Amino acid sequence: MESLSIHDNSSGVKSTKKTFNNAFHSWLGSIHSPSNPKTSDGKEPSVTLSPSHVLGFRSHDSRNNLFKIDQDHVVYPSAALGVVQNTKTGEQKFFNQHTDDIVALTIHPDDHNIIATGQLGKEVIIYIWNAKDLSVIAKLSAGKLQGVASLSFSPKDGKYLLAAFRDDKSTIQLWDWKKQTMIKSEINSYRVFSARFSPFITSKKDLSFVSFGEKHINFWTIDGSDATTAAAAWTKKKGILGTSNTISAIHSYLPLSPSTTVFGANDGTILVMEQVNIAHITKSAYNGPVMSLCKVTDQIYASAGDGKVSFWSSTDHTSTTYHGHAQIVIPDVSSSTPIRSLRVADGNILVGTQTSDIVIISFNEQEPQFQSIAHGHGGDVNCAFFANNGELVTSSADETVRIWKKNGSTWEQVEKIKVGGPSESVTLSPDTKTIVVGLNNGYIQVYKRQDSGAVATFIQEVLISKDAKKISVLKFSPDGSRLAIGSHNDDIVLANLNVDGKLVEKFTTCSGHKSAILHIDWSVDGNYLQSNCEAYELLFWDAKTSLQITQSHTLKDTEWATWSCKLGWPVQGIWSKGEDGSDINSVYRSNSQDLLVTGDDTFNVNLFKYPVNNENTNKRIYKGHSSHVTSVMFSKDDKYIVTTGSGDRTIIIWSVQNQ
């Protein structure tokens, strides 16, 4: 490591020192103090952030973690947040004590405001909390078990909590959660997807439960005069799956009586079991794993990988005839989208899909009725952009671009565009009529709207990166006449737009970076650009000639329309001790130019006063994401900040609040 000065390259004044990785320091020679620099007092900003709304539902690697608390509220996980959402207004509130992905959630059988959530991580934590005031009721430290697979409260009084884990030994633990005491622990030979108490337990002397997953179904009974002591023996009986060579995993479970249970398998098979034996089997009833099962009156409902809910009579287990509507097709849910959660709620069904859709199906009419509760992306989310009209646009690895609009307490999805490939960049023109999407295959797509907020129409696709490397950043000039396109082929392409919004295919190229382009800013007058790349370079460009400006001091007083570069004079102090360039992923200056927000690799959103030009600047740190924060941006009025969490598939909209 090498000690290098932060600050100015023109006056010779060394204000502070910071230690940087050798590969990281080259940009310091390109920064110069403005003639009349804005001073920084190093104090944390007086404003604070609070999560206002979350777009995303953790479902791609977990199951049945969506519940209805009461007639007006649902609860579900998103990134490291427990989300309590009003189903009528869309208003959300958040439990924020977790430090990693929440991958298991359940509710108390008697008091639905008592929620249990479990996270991933080396040190696994389970919280029991109150959905009304978001207070912690109990904190259970389960140990080094990699993550929670499932949680289940004991029926009737909910006194005990059963937890299955994702460790190599597929551990199952029984907790007296009010005392925060683990009663007993067992290990398993095969991976456990879920462990669930039987709802037919009548006393604490009979804490029977079922575990299932890879190559097994196990029926457990905890014996003894008091089944809740460590001395009590756990008896395990294996479910007899027969000679089928297509069943490699059991994914779902529905108890019908103390002796009768229904299971869904990986190959679409439905199993009805009496005690430990198969009473009836319907081979390949579905095309794909049966992820969820539930029962409403005399109908059993099941979901698999086709985006539909199917049902049959629970009074005739031997019949393969579907009654009523054999399949319920959910609007706007793709036929290739697995449903990961089915839950009975007030005679209705609460549905959660792998692509973050949450829907309530009701049966008040002859035909099923649908109420959409939430939408989100079904892949990593690395880009979110606030348009000048207040709309929010996001792109994802799920090959869609979504447009969101604030409506009261919620953000509604107003348009979903299928772009045909993964995307990590999207932008809107200043007049919000032109939408440009950068794809990971080197193409950009252009969509046009007749008016701001209208439905977008595809008008153009252009290959920008001829070696098919991803488009990583898109930036319109302040007047909207030009577009800067950065890619992983190390160049910035400048394109003019005609009156129809199409790119005029006579591009110029800014060449000189040694690695993939990450960030671009235009000057207010549109004459210059600054850019950063993965090689930690800060370069400047003449937008008219596309030539590099090597005398960077000549631009020290340039007014920049935005500041999203993580390298530069006003952002020198954004790194904490021991960090280098790779630790900060995204930066954005407020439009009032008095705040700066950053997103980092430790899942944090950091808020500073702007400029941040000394090492000892204090910041406010906010948690909620459970993966690298890859994109941050202020809204035009600076009332909101949007952040994306990449692998947590979550978009958080933060409210900027005065103290």
**What are the pLDDT digits (tens) for 412-437?**
999 999 998 999 999 999 999 999 99
pLDDT 10s digits, 438-453: 999 999 999 999 887 7
pLDDT 10s digits, 45-92: 999 999 999 999 999 989 899 999 999 999 999 999 999 999 999 999
- How sure is the predictor about 374, in pLDDT bands with cuts at 50, 70 and 90? very high
Q: What is the DSSP string of 616-642?
A: T---EEE---SS---EEEE-TTSSEEE
Furthest CA-CA distance within the chain: 87
Q: What is the mean pLDDT of the chain?
A: 89
For residue 19, pLDDT over 60 is answered with no
Tell me how far apart the alpha carbons of residues 272 and 298 are, in angstroms, rounded to a whole number: 15
Side-chain half-sphere exposure of 417, counting CA atoms within 13 A: 25
For residue 2, pLDDT over 50 is answered with no
Tell me how far apart the alpha carbons of residues 375 and 56 are, in angstroms, rounded to a whole number: 7
For residue 203, pLDDT over 80 is answered with no
- How sure is the predictor about 5, in pLDDT bands with cuts at 50, 70 and 90? very low
Q: Which residues pair with 198 in a beta bridge?
A: none
Tell me how far apart the alpha carbons of residues 188 and 59 are, in angstroms, rounded to a whole number: 25
Phi and psi at residue 570, to the nearest 5°? -85, 5
Instruction: Calculate mean pLDDT across residues 202-225.
Output: 85
Token pair recorded at residue 539: 């370069």
Q: Which residues pair with 196 in a beta bridge?
A: 210
Distance (Å) of CA 116 to CA 64, 113, 148, 167: 13, 10, 11, 19
Reduced to 3 states, what is the DSSP secondary structure of residue 94?
A: strand
- How sure is the predictor about 23, in pLDDT bands with cuts at 50, 70 and 90? low
Token pair recorded at residue 502: 């199409």
316 CB contacts (<8 Å, ≥6 apart)? none
C-alpha dihedral over 375, 378, 382, 385, to 10 degrees?
-30
Contact 342, 292 (CB under 8 A): yes
Token pair recorded at residue 338: 């697995």
Domains of the chain: residue spans and CATH: 419-560 (2.130.10.10)
Side-chain half-sphere exposure of 205, counting CA atoms within 13 A: 2
Q: What is residue 26's predicted lDDT score, i.e. its pLDDT?
A: 65
Residue predicted with more confidence, 502 or 332: 502
Reduced to 3 states, what is the DSSP secondary structure of residue 13?
A: coil
Token pair recorded at residue 28: 């310091």
For residue 17, pLDDT over 50 is answered with no
How many angstroms separate the first and last alpha carbons of the chain?
40
Pairing state of beta strands 2-7 and 92-95? unpaired
Residue predicted with more confidence, 321 or 360: 360
Contact 107, 114 (CB under 8 A): yes
Amino acid at 504: V
For residue 614, pLDDT over 90 is answered with no
Residue predicted with more confidence, 7 or 615: 615
Q: What is residue 240's predicted lDDT score, i.e. its pLDDT?
A: 86
Instruction: Calculate mean pLDDT across residues 3-20.
Output: 36
For residue 132, pLDDT over 70 is answered with yes
Distance (Å) of CA 342 to CA 57, 102, 198, 217: 14, 18, 18, 20
Each as own residue / partner, the long-range contacts of residues 279-286 (CB below 8 Å, 24 or more positions apart, any chain) are 279/317, 280/317, 280/318, 281/242, 281/244, 282/320, 283/244, 283/246, 284/246, 285/310, 285/320, 286/310
Distance (Å) of CA 92 to CA 50, 245, 633, 643: 12, 46, 21, 17
For residue 570, pLDDT over 70 is answered with yes
Q: What is the DSSP string of 220-252?
A: EEE-SSSTTSTTSPEEEEE---TT-SS--BEEE
pLDDT 10s digits, 151-164: 999 998 899 999 99
Q: For the chain, what percent of residues have pLDDT higher than 70?
A: 93
For residue 552, pLDDT over 60 is answered with yes
